[in-house]
Structure 1
Amino acid sequence: MVNYRNWIGEVSDETKISTLSIPGTHNSAACHTALPSVQCQGASVTEQLEHGVRFLDIRVGRLLLGNNKDDLQVIHGKFPVKIPFPLKLTNVLEEIYRFVEANNRESVIVSIKQEGSNDWDNRNDEFGKLIWRDYISPNKDRWYLNPEIPRVGDARGKIILFRRFGVQDEQLRREFGFDAPVWSYNTTDDDRGSFRVQDFCEVETGQDLPKKIQYVKDMAQTAQSYTRDHDDKLFVNFTTASNFFDKDCWPHAIAKSMIEGNIHESFQKGVGIIVLDYAEVEDWILVKELVNSNF
């Protein structure tokens, strides 16, 4: 029986991360009381990790109130994921650190993305340098920051940075994690060389969901076929989509539709990262199916 809390511990050291089937969560820390459609998870980050999730999607922006303008809070789009008090990035990272310290044969891929205000001077790497100075550099021993896709043995006990923001400084870029700053909006299939993404998100009504489900299945099958013979590309496959104006297209409804659409039938070894809303729905069924496929 698979131990979901420690499943990467059972994978051989020589296995490339890119050849695994990895459960991920969308807006992973959006598990608190928030505005309708902002909340994306019903379980905490720690619970997600304990149940086998190994890719966390964290989106951050400036803290609106407070003395330190460099403090970052977790947001979804332009909205805080926790009200009335903000959830700071520091607190989410501490939660991840605690899990990895207690389970030092595991690895967690953490995606960090800037959202919210557009007043960053990114020509001078303002956001990237802030992340490096205040969050990564003081904890460098906890992170796997090589830009290459690691083998499992190279990243045990580490957080693998999946960097969803650009860095102009070439020297910094060499030691700032896996470089995935951009892909096409609303894409059904965007191949960027070292990674390939399905992130179709513009679902107008519930009647559009079968189309989204098929895109998820297609990318899973593409990934499985590719990773059978190659290990140089990371596949990221979002099951998520939303329409604020239609409750049938809010995250919880989307999560249930993915299960009802039997996306797990396409889960085999090597389907890459599958990013889920409300991963705990029906006793973590999609997370378990993904983890099980590795064995």
Structure 2
Amino acid sequence: MVDYKTWLKDINDNTKLSQLSIPGTHNSAACHTALPSVQCQGATVTEQLEHGVRFLDIRVGKLFFGEDVKDLQVIHGKFPVKLPFPLKLTDTLNEVYQFLANNQSETVLVSIKQEGSDDWDNSKDEFGKLIWEKYVNPNKERWYLNTDIPRLRDARGKAVLFRRFGVQDEQLRNQFGFSASSWTYNTTDDDRGQFVVQDFCEVNSTDDVPKKIDYVKNLAKRAQDYTSSNDDKLFLNFTTGSYFFDRQCWPEPIAKAMIEGNIHETFKKGVGIIVLDYAETDDWKLPKALVDSNF
């Protein structure tokens, strides 16, 4: 019987994260009261981690009110994930730190992306340096910050930074986590060398849902074929997609469609990171299936 809270403790220390099947969540902290189209999860970050999720997708931007731009809030697109008061990045990261402190056998890939206002001067690494100086460097012992894909023995008890923002400063870049700063928008299969992505997100009608399901299955199969003999690529496979003007294409119905489309039948060992909306659907069916496939 798998203990989903500590499932990595039963995986060999020498295993690279790229060789596993890892449940992830999309807009992981978007589980609070917010605009209906903003919410992507029905369970908290801590609950997700306790049910086996090991990849968190966190999007952040400047606070809408107040003078302190050095205090970032979690957002989805241009909208806060929590109303009426903002959810600060510090609070979300503290959930991760607390979980890892209590479960030293585990590791969590933490994806951080800048969204919202576009008034950052990234030619001077304004966003990256803020993340480094305020959030990462003061907690350096809690992070795995090498630029490679870690083996479990090196990542246990730590958050692995999956950096979805560019850094110009080479010295900083070389100590600032796994670089995943860009991929092709709405891609069905984008190989960036160290990682491969399926992120077809423009599900503009219910007619697009079967296509999306096929894209998820196809990349899962490709990942499994590749990782059965290689460990140098991380496969990132988004099950998510939405269209604001059609309620049937909002995150929750798409999440249910993924289960009805039997994507779990393609889950074998080494299918990579499968990124989910409403991960708790059907008693955490998809996270459990992913975790189970590792054994």
Q: What TM-score range do you get, normalising by the shorter chain?
A: over 0.9
CA distance in structure 2 between the aligned counterparts of 1:21 and 1:286, rounded to whole angstroms: 11
For residue 37 of structure 1, report the CA deviation from its aligned partner.
1.1
For residue 68 of structure 1, report the CA deviation from its aligned partner.
1.3
Matches within 5 A, 1:1-295: 1-295=1-295
**Identical columns (%):** 72
For residue 197 of structure 1, report the CA deviation from its aligned partner.
0.1
CA distance in structure 2 between the aligned counterparts of 1:49 and 1:195, rounded to whole angstroms: 23
* Residue-by-residue CA offset, 1:185-232 (whole Å, 9 max, x unaligned): 000000000000000011111121000000000000000000001000
For residue 75 of structure 1, report the CA deviation from its aligned partner.
0.2
CA distance in structure 2 between the aligned counterparts of 1:238 and 1:46, rounded to whole angstroms: 21
Partner SS, residue 292 of structure 1: helix
Partner SS, residue 70 of structure 1: coil
1:270 alignment partner AA: G
For residue 164 of structure 1, report the CA deviation from its aligned partner.
0.2
* Residue-by-residue CA offset, 1:135-166 (whole Å, 9 max, x unaligned): 00000000000000000111000000000000
CA distance in structure 2 between the aligned counterparts of 1:130 and 1:151, rounded to whole angstroms: 28
* Residue-by-residue CA offset, 1:58-100 (whole Å, 9 max, x unaligned): 0000001123121100000000000110000000000110000
CA distance in structure 2 between the aligned counterparts of 1:260 and 1:93, rounded to whole angstroms: 33
CA distance in structure 2 between the aligned counterparts of 1:102 and 1:67, rounded to whole angstroms: 35
Partner SS, residue 259 of structure 1: helix
CA distance in structure 1 between the aligned counterparts of 2:208 and 2:182, rounded to whole angstroms: 25
Q: TM-score, normalised by structure 2?
A: 1.00
Partner SS, residue 161 of structure 1: strand
For residue 21 of structure 1, report the CA deviation from its aligned partner.
0.1
CA distance in structure 2 between the aligned counterparts of 1:173 and 1:204, rounded to whole angstroms: 37
CA distance in structure 2 between the aligned counterparts of 1:99 and 1:214, rounded to whole angstroms: 34
Partner SS, residue 196 of structure 2: strand
List gaps (5 residues or longer) in structure 1: none
Partner SS, residue 222 of structure 1: helix
Runs of 4+ in structure 1 deviating by more than 4 angstroms, as ranges, are none
2:267 alignment partner AA: F
Partner SS, residue 273 of structure 2: strand
Partner SS, residue 22 of structure 2: strand
For residue 133 of structure 1, report the CA deviation from its aligned partner.
0.2
- What count of residue pairs does the alignment treat as equivalent? 295
CA distance in structure 1 between the aligned counterparts of 2:125 and 2:69, rounded to whole angstroms: 16
CA distance in structure 2 between the aligned counterparts of 1:119 and 1:66, rounded to whole angstroms: 16
CA distance in structure 2 between the aligned counterparts of 1:203 and 1:95, rounded to whole angstroms: 31
